[in-house]
Structure 1
Amino acid sequence: MTKPQKQIHLAAHFPGVNNTTVWSDPEAGSHIEFASFAHFARTAERAKFDFLFLAEGLRLREQGGKIYDLDVVGRPDTFTVLAALAAVTDHLGLTGTINSTFNEPYEVARQFASLDHLSGGRAAWNVVTSWDAFTGENFRRGGFLPQEERYSRAKEFLATANELFDSWRDDDLVADQAAGVFLRDAGAGAFVHRGQHFDIHGRFNVPRSPQGRPVIFQAGDSDEGREFAAAGADAIFSRYAALDTGQSFYTDVKSRLARYGRRPDDLLILPAASFVLGDTDAEAEELAKEVRRRQVSGATAIKHLEFVWNRDLSGYDPDGPLPDVDPLPGEHTVARGRAQVRMYRDPLATAREWRELAAAHNWSIRDLVIETGNRQTFVGSPATVAETINAYVQADAADGFILVPHITPGGLDGFADRVVPLLQERGVFRTEYTGPTLRDHLGLAHPDDARGERAAS
């Protein structure tokens, strides 16, 4: 019997703080003006994407004791942007990254419940933890919360927020055409939580929202992060977009669900993915090389190398060979507030590997950084990109992709106009939205469904 084709999930990542955007391109626009967010969101909705995704940047990044000035340095508040986008879209999901280390459950639950009401059931929360005390210096808590406690706090934070969301029931309210809406049950919204990290009680003052709870995303890659996602997330934001690594990650995370009484389809795997389109595959490959060169200037290459070497390399020629000195071990002090630092957990081994690659291919510092760090996920004609995305999803390397264009805000337009119609012709992507909420788009059950049966996608 032929296996039915999986439906592909697509989302759009407004990049914000990043090394992806080609800032020098004349089409590159503001990352703070609302018009940029609105254009991006409307394009995603026109293409029938599931949701828009916003990351979070809570402190200006530094390198060598100075503000890192080679990419964008700020971003508006997540809830403010998403609430504004709710007014200019009708169907698109609105996903925001909100930190569990520096916030409080009541505050965050109230904000997401409000967003879910304002948007008609389109809110989603990407739950993350802080990973450095540098960012935490901006907050009372983060400067001293030990790393080993951050996931413990995140788990209890999410559980507490869910208790607040669930403190209202549908039958707590009565609608009267003349009198409006009033309470039937005086106990509505009451909650008590006593745990290791939170000891709170009171009344939650936002009624049950259209989705019951926002859709929950998780973005951690560690073993703790994968387990956290398997226990309570609806989707995981992965960095494994290649076929082989994607399949390995997919299998690992999905295999963890059964121990929590969940099925494989209860958690979606959605890697971030970049793309370059051309009229032909050859044209796209040439354009992709040009984009990578523009993303990684000589100065950017040196700064990236400092992530691993943990020392000042400003005296080195980016078009010359790699440093012959080894990385400095110990606490990282050169690059602060950058997630990339976590990727290189064994700097000495990374340096050895990179020297071998550079020697084998005659790569300069800049060549190495381009080839190891800035490869686009999908490159080719629209037909090739559509075929590859579908092949990856059908091969269980992902359930879909969160697309990150290299131009903001117009970089998504070509994908929407040229690739999406081909996926629709294949019957693997929707031609219209079939429900009003983000849970409908993602095929996720409503939390009030006692049977836990999966909603129709």
Structure 2
Amino acid sequence: MSSKPLKQIHLAAHFPGVNNTTVWSDPEAGSHIEFSSFAHFARTAERAKFDFLFLAEGLRLREQGGHIYDLDVVGRPDTFTILAALAAVTEHLGLAGTINSTFNEPYEVARQFASLDHLSGGRSAWNVVTSWDAFTGENFRRGGFLPQEERYSRAKEFLATAGELLDAWHGDEIVADQASGVFLRDAKAGSFVHTGQHFDIHGQFDVPRSPQGRPVIFQAGDSEEGREFAAAGADAIFSRYAALDTGQAFYADVKGRLAKYGRRSDQLLILPAATFVLGDTDADAEERARHVRRAQVSGATALKHLEFVWNRDLSSYDPEGPLPDVDPDVGDDHISKGRAQVRMYRDPLATAREWRELAAANNWSIRDLVIHTGNRQTFVGSPATVARTINEFVQADASDGFILVPHITPGGLDEFADTVVPLLQEQGVFRTEYEGPTLRHHLGLAHPDDERAERAAS
């Protein structure tokens, strides 16, 4: 009986952006604005043969109790600008960015991604997200315009419309002339017409077909609508399930939705975000992880996190003291604006009861509770232990790989690249060289034109 072939692991790197992830107080912590930080991070990821670098996007600084949320990064440059600049200092690394479908237009976004794909030689990726809150929308003319229940409807049509624009140059409509550059063979090349519920546009798309045809599409929703949206048209979906059992359940659920859209299991990758702490030994790593976690969750951070659930000003409470006796305010006016943190907890009253019981049973302060119930490190151990665990997760179909989020920028990825990656390469589950020029090559995804030809032939 032949054994199941080993899956190849996909690894990517996420440049973090808030200090409940990063440790700002560490002497090695660097800038989140200077280009040298992004360049160092990207070069490390490429040296380690990672698939791509990922940048999230915030369209408005959060507020807490009417004040700027002081745990956010202020002044990070625009995502497209950073990715375009990184294209010039890397050769193989994929360049993925979050771009909102609620407050942008398909023509503009399609043009930007097609341009990035040309500039990078076929390495662009788009994390399609939605936003329903009017607070963020106040920065745009559509502020408060889109009801929450319509956000996926608009996102689906947005993605489809952008795809139509990118495909407007499909086929043999252009030829290259070395003297004068690229010119049209057919005057209709690039022409588009789209009439739908959210968009009614027609015209000429002015960026020729890019190396990938269209960017690799990522999706991050975990709701029923989000999973279905990813199954219908995404190339990869982010996941927050980093435990083996929950990861396997999510993996099976999403992959199981693909067949009804005429898609195979290998046409959608499952990539959870993952943090890590390494040490010379497992015990050393565990000790370092405890230190890192306490540095990530300062007293001020703990109170801010508790306010997401309590929906009250808790600044008068001692973070090293007991949890509040007062219950959460379940009203619609949330103390946290700009990022729906409170909605992470569907039933704040039940969450408060559970947390009080945990704190009482373990003699935890507010800070202790947040440290233990918040996002803890996914992989902790020696390089050999972390490499083995990552491989076990992937081979057990809990994921297709991981998007790593270090707690130090820009150098926090260096140790992983130098110690864990070589072990994965020795096991034959991670590349030693890039096998193709585009991000689709790295991820094992077919070119859209090839997929179109395959569907036509079937």
Calculate the TM-score normalised by the size of structure 1. 0.97
Letter of the aligned partner of 1:27 in structure 2?
Answer: E
Deviates more, 1:427-436 or 1:342-351: 342-351
CA contact (8 A) 2:311 2:342 kept: no
Deviates more, 1:42-51 or 1:312-321: 312-321
Alpha-carbon distance, 1:453 to partner: 6.0
1:153 is paired with a residue whose SS is helix
Matches within 5 A, 1:282-297: 282-297=283-298
Deviates more, 1:251-260 or 1:376-385: 251-260
Letter of the aligned partner of 2:142 in structure 1?
Answer: R
Deviates more, 1:444-453 or 1:364-373: 444-453
- 1:187-228 CA distance string (max 9 Å, x none): 100000000000000010000000000000001111111110
Deviates more, 1:29-38 or 1:62-71: 62-71
Alpha-carbon distance between aligned partners in 2 of 1:176 and 1:301, rounded to the nearest angstrom: 61
Letter of the aligned partner of 1:117 in structure 2?
Answer: H
Question: Does residue 35 of structure 1 match 2:36?
Answer: yes
Partner residue in 1 for 2:66: 65
1:449 is paired with a residue whose SS is helix
CA contact (8 A) 1:60 1:74 kept: no
Letter of the aligned partner of 2:284 in structure 1?
Answer: E
Partner residue in 1 for 2:431: 430
Partner residue in 2 for 1:309: 310
- 1:252-305 CA distance string (max 9 Å, x none): 111111111111111000010000000000000000000000000111101100
Q: Which runs of 5+ in 2 are unaligned?
A: none
Partner residue in 2 for 1:154: 155
Matches within 5 A, 1:302-381: 302-381=303-382
- Label 1:72 to 1:451 Cα distance change in 2 as closer, same or farther (>3 A): closer
1:171 is paired with a residue whose SS is coil
Letter of the aligned partner of 1:23 in structure 2?
Answer: W
- Label 1:42 to 1:203 Cα distance change in 2 as closer, same or farther (>3 A): same
Question: Does residue 44 of structure 1 match 2:64?
Answer: no
Letter of the aligned partner of 2:267 in structure 1?
Answer: D
CA contact (8 A) 2:49 2:93 kept: yes
2:61 is paired with a residue whose SS is coil
Letter of the aligned partner of 1:87 in structure 2?
Answer: A
Alpha-carbon distance, 1:181 to partner: 2.5
Alpha-carbon distance, 1:185 to partner: 1.2
- 1:296-334 CA distance string (max 9 Å, x none): 011110110000000111111111111111111121421
1:166 is paired with a residue whose SS is helix
RMSD: 1.3
Alpha-carbon distance between aligned partners in 2 of 1:237 and 1:79, rounded to the nearest angstrom: 20
Alpha-carbon distance between aligned partners in 2 of 1:253 and 1:31, rounded to the nearest angstrom: 34
Alpha-carbon distance between aligned partners in 1 of 2:428 and 2:207, rounded to the nearest angstrom: 40
1:285 is paired with a residue whose SS is helix
2:128 is paired with a residue whose SS is strand
2:332 is paired with a residue whose SS is coil
Letter of the aligned partner of 2:135 in structure 1?
Answer: F
Letter of the aligned partner of 2:423 in structure 1?
Answer: L
Identity %: 87
Deviates more, 1:200-209 or 1:319-328: 319-328
2:441 is paired with a residue whose SS is helix
Alpha-carbon distance between aligned partners in 2 of 1:63 and 1:167, rounded to the nearest angstrom: 45
Partner residue in 1 for 2:125: 124
Q: How many residues align?
A: 454
Matches within 5 A, 1:29-428: 29-428=30-429
2:450 is paired with a residue whose SS is coil
Letter of the aligned partner of 2:68 in structure 1?
Answer: I
Alpha-carbon distance, 1:374 to partner: 3.2
- Label 1:134 to 1:179 Cα distance change in 2 as closer, same or farther (>3 A): closer
CA contact (8 A) 2:97 2:125 kept: yes
Alpha-carbon distance between aligned partners in 2 of 1:304 and 1:254, rounded to the nearest angstrom: 33
Letter of the aligned partner of 1:294 in structure 2?
Answer: A
CA contact (8 A) 1:10 1:403 kept: yes
Alpha-carbon distance between aligned partners in 1 of 2:18 and 2:328, rounded to the nearest angstrom: 26
Deviates more, 1:346-355 or 1:395-404: 346-355
Alpha-carbon distance between aligned partners in 1 of 2:132 and 2:271, rounded to the nearest angstrom: 22
Alpha-carbon distance, 1:342 to partner: 2.4
Alpha-carbon distance between aligned partners in 1 of 2:230 and 2:266, rounded to the nearest angstrom: 13
Alpha-carbon distance between aligned partners in 2 of 1:15 and 1:299, rounded to the nearest angstrom: 19
Alpha-carbon distance between aligned partners in 2 of 1:334 and 1:451, rounded to the nearest angstrom: 48
1:202 is paired with a residue whose SS is strand
Q: Which runs of 5+ in 1 are unaligned?
A: none
